Structure 1
Amino acid sequence: MKRMLFFISKLSIILTALIASQSLWAKKIDHVVLVHGAFVDASSWNSVMSILLDKGYQVTAVQNPLTSLKDDVEAIRRVLDRQTADTILVGYSWAGVPVTEVGNHDRVKGLVYVAAMAPDKGESIHTLQQIKAEQATMPGLQSVIDDGYGNYLIDPAGYHFALAHDADPAKTRLMAASQIPMSIAAFDEVVEQVAWKTKPSWYAVSSEDKIVSPQLQFWMAERMGAHTISVPSGHASILSYPDKIAALIDTAARLSD
């Protein structure tokens, strides 16, 4: 009988430990802040956001102005200040620059870059574009135009090919019509804070990108020491593979806690 009681007691301890470990494993960060890139607005995150919301995440998509690095950083900071719990910060394309600058915010516990620029201290977009020769030959760049007011836009006629050749043309038509002008001067602004050096980071490379060199993306991800996946997508994998991007964010939320 004593042996039986001893066995039951030990079994109870083991089961309690297992339940506790499973609870810890199940625990995750449940706040996500999404930051859009150039030539789009916050609605570009809609497909990814829907998946995350269905998973129970508290999601906010920043409507950043794209008028300067400083302005975008301030827009993101204000959203982060409103978060009531630990947060995963996600940047797509250009947004990797302000995310890198503001990602040391106390609420941010992990960073996710999606086909995003990831500068080091003192670097700008134009600095990064010089690193890989392939970048200068990217065919999507032919559709980038100057609006005459100090901004870049993408010609609607080439928008689908440049950003999302593998996405639904009906979606890209709407995005082309609602794109936010991107400050040309912002591409020369440098970062002073580098969050990926102190926060765990994930990177989704768009391997079929037509506007940002996949070689450059892999190089940045490796330099960061980021957990990296490759998505067989055009630049806007958030449109063509929202399930894969949402899954990467979910992984970051579970492993950053």
Structure 2
Amino acid sequence: MAQPTVVLVHGAFADASSFAALIPELLSDGIKVLAPAVPNRTLTGDAAYIASVVRSIDGPVLLVGHSYGGAVITVAGTEENVKGLVYLSGYALEEGESLGELQGRFPDSDLAAALVYTPFPGGTDVTVDIEKFPAIFAHDVDPGLARILAVSQRPLAGAAFAEAAPAAAWKTKPAWGIVSSSDHTINPDVERFGYQRAGVKAVEIDSSHLVMLSHPKEAADVIREALKAL
């Protein structure tokens, strides 16, 4: 099999620049990388968009999803040329399960009390309180960068939290993952539970939610392991 293209799928409250420290690690190894912009509107719509990106790639694909991006790759990963999944501080949903349902099984993280809801035509955007963002999302990231990330968030539409995943690609595709054990955005037990249920080969890193920014080498190692196995 030809070497897969690594498609990096960002999460909520972030964009593809959240992979800025990880991408050079992969490119320096000659790995093909693509980091598209996720609309962050609805789970099925976002997954359909990423699936269209995957179909445009000639050859196999390794899907890597951070946070909400994990839910997106869980659905989009059913595309035929997706050969594996990697979850970074991510949601590994079951078919028929929503983000809210999975999170609701566990105590709230610090994120729950820091969410800001802003109406837009046709819905409600959800972001993180700018002042609280660095501590909740990026406590081990350079403080100057964390402040930039706080004011440049890509919102997630509130509807995405309640939408059930129509498929779970991990049922038929091998999966790897990182649990961020110091995550204040997603309760680490949410990550652990989802990974265990999905048979994800997981490692734990003492990291904030933005593990690929604070620990890019370790995140790259997990992706390299997946590529080697494929």
State whether structure 2 residue 186 is matched by structure 1 residue 215.
no
Equivalent positions of 1:171-190 (< 5 A) are 171-190=145-164
Alignment RMSD, CA only? 1.3
State whether structure 2 residue 14 is matched by structure 1 residue 40.
yes
CA drift at 1:173 = 1.6
Aligned counterpart, 2:56 = 82
Equivalent positions of 1:44-193 (< 5 A) are 44-132=18-106, 134=107, 136=108, 138-149=109-120, 150-193=124-167
Rg: which structure is higher? Answer: 1
CA drift at 1:192 = 1.2
Distance 2:2 2:190 in 1: 31
Distance 2:2 2:195 in 1: 24
Structure 2 gaps of 5+ residues are none
Indicate the SS of the match to 1:120. coil
CA drift at 1:75 = 2.0
Tell whether the 8 Å contact from 2:2 to 2:59 is kept in structure 1 after alignment: no
Distance 2:113 2:135 in 1: 10
Aligned pair count? 227
1:13-62, Cα deviation, whole Å (9 max, x unpaired): xxxxxxxxxxxxxx873410000000001111111111101110110002
TM-score (norm: length of structure 1) = 0.85
Match of 2:212 among 214, 238, 245: 238
Structure 1 gaps of 5+ residues are 1-26
Distance 1:234 1:188 in 2: 25
Give the structure with the larger helix fraction.
1
TM-score (norm: length of structure 2) = 0.95
